[in-house]
């Protein structure tokens, strides 16, 4: 028996991937950009084992048995085994059955990039098991699009490319580039979303005209601006671009027919509080971004972490009830007193 255990981090996109031009190879309609988070807080952990004794192959996710014959899992396993055979045709372990056990230490299928961490982790573990070297981004992408960005650290672009070989991740800046950048994750609902990312984006591709416009006209310009803001460490610009891009994703979800609502009232309350904080300070102190789920990811600098977290906590205490009644509290005027 041979066993390998790996961990892999999530990545949170600031220019979102939404829509495929090729469902099988997972080629995106648009390029995207994300930061890969440190894996000491949120990660997938996967153990892969293979043995001559295993009667069948199996997959376990968070302790529950899942279908190992799903297309994406099989695509990943087959691609890696093919490379392993090319490298060493006499490696007998390639023909043995595999057992895959994976756990996420954060909510799965809740819009916090579990598919990204999960498939990046699976691909790394299998590559290590069969002793494959080289770029794993292309293989991870065929498990889940966003996973191709989690194989690299720091700030990572996924160029839409022209084919399977060049539609891969590229590091634009490493993990030490912006050392005071922080990400605050607010879990609004840890449950599984009712529309998966795969299903949601497929429906958007079929029905949303706005998505066509976004992919063709808006994202290329957005990618240039975002890359520049990150390289220049211009937080004010980075924050505005990030929030606009997130809002555009959710606008497209509403333009999808039938529409999809990933954000809920609590997500919108967080969005509102973030704008109140930024308006009051007349500069962006914090940026929200929401993936396909209600949970908030906030980008902020270390120097503002204390300010932002206390304002958010206080806002929740005083505001959430009022907001639910649709009477939006005037946080702009009160924001200073919130800190007292
Ligand atoms: P998320 O927003 O969390 O990425 P998705 O809808 O994109 O949600 O994907 C969720 C799916 O990703 C899960 O139902 C499962 O099939 C797969 N997945 C999540 N975590 C893992 C993991 N650790 N290993 C393998 N597959 C995983
Ligand atoms: C909103 O990568 O989960 O998180 O390729 O179908 O597995 P599949 O979808 P997935 O989609 C991620 C969508 C997103 C934006 C992003 O991470 O770029
Ligand atoms: Co996902």
Ligand 2 pocket, mutate which of 117, 222, 292, 294 (most atoms under 8 A from CB): 292
Look at residues 229, 336, 329 and name the one whose alpha carbon lies nearest to residue 287: 229
Helix, strand, coil % in the chain, rounded to nearest 5? 45, 20, 35
- In degrees and rounded to multiples of 5, residue 222 shows phi and psi of -60, -45
Give me the residues paired with residue 34 across strands.
Answer: 13, 156
Calculate the CA 225 to chain-centre distance.
20
Q: What is the pLDDT of residue 325?
A: 54
Euclidean distance between CA atoms 188 and 312, whole angstroms: 13
Q: What is the pLDDT of residue 316?
A: 87
Q: Is the CB of 99 under 6 A from ligand 1?
A: no
- In degrees and rounded to multiples of 5, residue 130 shows phi and psi of -95, 10
ipTM attached to this prediction: 0.99
Ligand 1 pocket, mutate which of 45, 114, 142, 195 (most atoms under 8 A from CB): 114
Euclidean distance between CA atoms 2 and 13, whole angstroms: 35
Q: Give the closest residue (by CA) to ligand 2 atom 14.
A: 291
Euclidean distance between CA atoms 142 and 120, whole angstroms: 10
Tell me, what DSSP letter sits at residue 130?
A: T
Atom of ligand 1 nearest to the CA of 199: 6
- In degrees and rounded to multiples of 5, residue 213 shows phi and psi of -65, -45
Long-range contacts of 309-315 (CB under 8 A, 24+ apart): 309/184, 310/338, 310/339, 311/273, 311/277, 311/335, 311/338, 311/339, 312/186, 312/270, 312/273, 314/338, 314/339, 315/269, 315/273, 315/276
**Residues of the chain under the 50 pLDDT cut:** none
Ligand 1 pocket, mutate which of 108, 145, 188 (most atoms under 8 A from CB): 108
Output the CA 117–ligand 3 centroid distance in Å. Answer: 9
Q: What is the pLDDT of residue 318?
A: 77
- In degrees and rounded to multiples of 5, residue 282 shows phi and psi of 55, 25
21, 61, 113, 190, 224 from 242: Cα distances, Å: 24, 32, 17, 23, 13
Q: Are 296 and 186 a contacting pair, CB within 8 Å?
A: yes
Q: What is the pLDDT of residue 328?
A: 53
Euclidean distance between CA atoms 199 and 301, whole angstroms: 34
Three-state helix/strand/coil letters over 241-307: HHHHHHHHHHHHHHHCCCCCCCCCHHHHHHHHHHHHHHHHHCCCCEEEEECCCCCEEEEEEHHHHHH
Ligand 2 pocket, mutate which of 24, 145, 164, 202 (most atoms under 8 A from CB): 145
Atom of ligand 1 nearest to the CA of 293: 2
User: Within a 13 Å sphere around the CA of 166, how many CA atoms are in the beta-carbon half?
Assistant: 4
pTM: predicted TM-score of the whole model, two decimal places = 0.95
Q: Is the CB of 109 under 6 A from ligand 1?
A: yes
Sequence-ordered list of residues with C-beta below 8 angstroms from that of 321, at least 6 positions apart, any chain:
none
Q: How far apart are the first and last CA of the chain?
A: 61
Atom of ligand 1 nearest to the CA of 197: 6
Q: Give the closest residue (by CA) to ligand 1 atom 24.
A: 118
Look at residues 124, 115, 106 and name the one whose alpha carbon lies nearest to residue 48: 124
Euclidean distance between CA atoms 296 and 276, whole angstroms: 16
Output the CA 129–ligand 2 centroid distance in Å. Answer: 27
Euclidean distance between CA atoms 150 and 263, whole angstroms: 24
Output the CA 203–ligand 3 centroid distance in Å. Answer: 15
Sequence-ordered list of residues with C-beta below 8 angstroms from that of 284, at least 6 positions apart, any chain:
235, 236, 239, 240, 278
Atom of ligand 2 nearest to the CA of 292: 1
Q: Is the CB of 76 under 6 A from ligand 1?
A: no
Atom of ligand 1 nearest to the CA of 291: 2
Sequence-ordered list of residues with C-beta below 8 angstroms from that of 162, at least 6 positions apart, any chain:
none
Output the CA 143–ligand 3 centroid distance in Å. Answer: 10
């Amino acid at each position: 028996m041979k066993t390998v255990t790996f961990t892999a981090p999530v990545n949170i996109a600031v220019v979102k991937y939404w829509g495929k031009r090729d469902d099988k190879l997972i080629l995106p309609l648009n390029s995207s950009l994300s930061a890969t988070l440190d894996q000491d807080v949120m990660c997938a952990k996967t153990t892969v084992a293979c043995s001559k004794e295993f009667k069948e192959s199996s997959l376990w996710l968070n302790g529950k048995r899942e279908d190992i014959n799903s297309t994406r899992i099989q695509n990943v396993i087959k691609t890696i085994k093919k490379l392993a055979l090319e490298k060493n045709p006499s490696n007998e372990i390639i023909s043995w059955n595999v057992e895959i056990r994976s756990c996420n230490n954060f909510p799965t299928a809740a819009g916090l990039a579990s598919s990204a961490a999960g498939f990046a982790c699976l691909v790394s573990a299998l590559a290590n098991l069969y002793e494959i070297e080289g770029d794993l981004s292309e293989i991870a992408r065929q498990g889940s699009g966003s996973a191709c960005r989690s194989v690299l650290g720091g700030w990572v672009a996924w160029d839409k490319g022209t084919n399977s070989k060049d539609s891969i991740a590229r590091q634009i800046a490493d993990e030490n580039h912006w050392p005071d950048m922080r990400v605050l994750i607010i879990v609004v609902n840890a449950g599984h979303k009712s529309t998966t990312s795969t299903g949601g984006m497929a429906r958007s591709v079929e029905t949303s005209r706005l998505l066509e416009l976004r992919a063709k006209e808006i994202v290329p310009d957005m990618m240039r601006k975002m890359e520049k803001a990150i390289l220049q460490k211009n937080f004010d610009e980075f924050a505005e671009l990030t929030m606009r891009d997130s809002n555009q994703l959710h606008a497209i979800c509403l333009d999808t027919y039938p529409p999809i609502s990933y954000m809920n009232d609590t997500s919108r309350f967080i969005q509102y509080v973030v704008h109140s904080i930024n308006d009051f300070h007349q500069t962006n102190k914090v940026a929200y971004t929401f993936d396909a789920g209600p949970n908030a990811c906030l980008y902020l600098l270390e120097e503002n972490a204390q300010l932002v977290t206390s304002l958010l906590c206080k806002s929740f205490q005083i505001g959430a009830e009022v907001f639910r009644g649709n009477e939006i509290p005037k946080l702009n005027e009160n924001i200073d007193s919130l800190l007292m």
